[in-house]
Structure 1
Amino acid sequence: MNLKKIVIVSAILLFVGSVLYIIPAFFYDVDKLNKNNPIPTSFMKYRMDQWKRDGVNKKIRQTWVPISQISRNMRLAVIVSEDAKFWKHDGFDFEAIQDAFVENFRSGRFKYGASTISQQVIKNVYLSPTKNPLRKIKEAILTYRMEQVVSKKRILEIYLNIIEMGDGIFGVQEAAKYYFGKPASALTVTEAAKLASILPNPIKYHPNSDQKFVTNRTRIIASRIAKIESYKK
């Protein structure tokens, strides 16, 4: 087989493989998210597989609570830190995507993300943490479909219950108990800001640490919450 035929066959196989990978995204029953709590998530299973490979005896710590039992401070903290346009967009923040594209192009690598809370829910519930174009396409399809049938309030509730917040700790209820000895319903502005500050890397960062990243980000998040609350007065 000459080089031209090899290239053509390789291109066809790549195309077919890509299509087969993406097509299932159109058939996931995302409507189930309205009533069923997706525990364990795909990402939780990924972590458990990691621990098993490494010979680590560890279990997922997660307790589901309705959004009514999560303090307003915590809800505001994740929105102002992760997705300020959450209540307005249809699953995607195109301005943030454009900014991330520019920064990634400048750095020469996939360094900056622009995932909304909705996209993060889809990635955690159904997909893997790998960064590749095909997974992002699949994520986009599922995010769009979810936004059509699941309310914003329910999407936020799912997010707050499944996000990784420490080594083996998932969801704000377990995080609040582990780090502050209280339920998520009782979190103060500062405590909520501390928890939200570690979301970019909850394994590396600790909410009660004096890590510069955590202290700076906590201050910024708390300031944004205070600004929002001041508008109500």
Structure 2
Amino acid sequence: MKKIVRVLKKVVLWFFILSIGAVIVYRFVPVFFTPLMGIRMVEQIAAGESVKCYHKWVPYNEISDHLKRAVIASEDQRFFQHNGFDRVEIEKAMKENKKRRRPRGASTISQQTAKNVFLWPQSSWVRKGLEAYFTVLIEFFWPKERILEVYLNCMETGNGIYGAEAVANRHFNTTASKLTAAQSALIAATLPNPRRFSSKNPSPYMLKRQQQILRQMQNIQLPKKK
């Protein structure tokens, strides 16, 4: 029994060392591959499909400010005010979910970044707990601009498409830096389910959502560039 306890202590210790180390490394190093990309590739192979993984890292200042405002407007309007968890949205979700058949989440961009970079997409109490842990770490070690930079580079934006540059190339024949407000709002509109909704061939619902996001973008202020 003592041996098992010692082994467990070592496992926990190494988990903390490796997880904190990874977060510190990714504070400076581009994230070229995520667990989600690997999972999607395995799913494609299992389904007998050709493997698709389009992704290209671009720095924060090479991503359109329109896209930054669009994802904040769509996903997390208090991103620059909270510490990783939006208590206002959590309380709203808890009240609404008492009446909703399908519960809505209240995940922030920080939480989604933690999930995308370090974890897996399937929801469970274990993943939620680890997601909270990594959210605290990245909020502590990374500035908000870095969290947003990583999110915009790693978010799933289509079938086998990840990040701002890849979706700009494949859906709009442009670059992340040249995305317009309308294009950015369409991309943001797909984020709840980018494999179902397409920014390349938007449905009437998507176009309606695009207009809502465009209006909300007018209220989003980004920090002044240094």
**Which TM-score applies when normalising by structure 1?**
0.83
Taking a change above 3 Å as real, the CA distance of residues 23 and 46 of structure 1, as seen in their structure-2 partners, is: farther
- State the Cα deviation string for residues 152-205 of structure 1 (Å, max 9, x = none): 111110000000000000001110111111101111111111111111111111
Amino acid at match of 2:40: R
What residue number does 2:24 align with? 31
1:210 shift after superposition: 4.4
1:130 shift after superposition: 1.3
What residue number does 2:185 align with? 193
Taking a change above 3 Å as real, the CA distance of residues 25 and 156 of structure 1, as seen in their structure-2 partners, is: farther
The structure carrying a bigger helix percent of its residues is 1
Residue of structure 1 aligned with 2:169, choices 158, 163, 177: 177
Amino acid at match of 2:203: Q
Residue of structure 2 aligned with 1:152, choices 137, 144, 152: 144
Larger radius of gyration: 1
What residue number does 2:122 align with? 130
The reply on whether 1:99 has 2:89 as its aligned counterpart is no
Amino acid at match of 1:177: N
1:108 shift after superposition: 5.4
The sequence identity of aligned pairs, in percent, is: 36
Taking a change above 3 Å as real, the CA distance of residues 57 and 22 of structure 1, as seen in their structure-2 partners, is: farther
1:85-96 mapped onto 2 (5 Å cutoff): 85-96=78-89
Amino acid at match of 1:34: R
The reply on whether 1:57 has 2:50 as its aligned counterpart is yes
RMSD over aligned CA atoms reads 2.3
Taking a change above 3 Å as real, the CA distance of residues 98 and 36 of structure 1, as seen in their structure-2 partners, is: same
The reply on whether 1:67 has 2:60 as its aligned counterpart is yes
Write the distance in 2 (CA, Å) between the matches of 1:108 and 1:37. 39
Write the distance in 2 (CA, Å) between the matches of 1:215 and 1:24. 48
Residue of structure 1 aligned with 2:70, choices 44, 54, 77: 77
- State the Cα deviation string for residues 84-111 of structure 1 (Å, max 9, x = none): 11111111101111222233333355x3
Mind listing any 5+ residue stretches in structure 1 that lack a counterpart?
1-18
Write the distance in 1 (CA, Å) between the matches of 2:12 and 2:92. 26
In the comparison of the two structures, how many residue pairs are matched?
A: 211
Q: Indicate the larger mover: 178-187 or 52-61.
A: 52-61
SS at match of 1:107: coil
1:48 shift after superposition: 1.1
What residue number does 1:9 align with? none
- 8 Å CA contact 2:56–2:153 kept in 1: the answer is yes
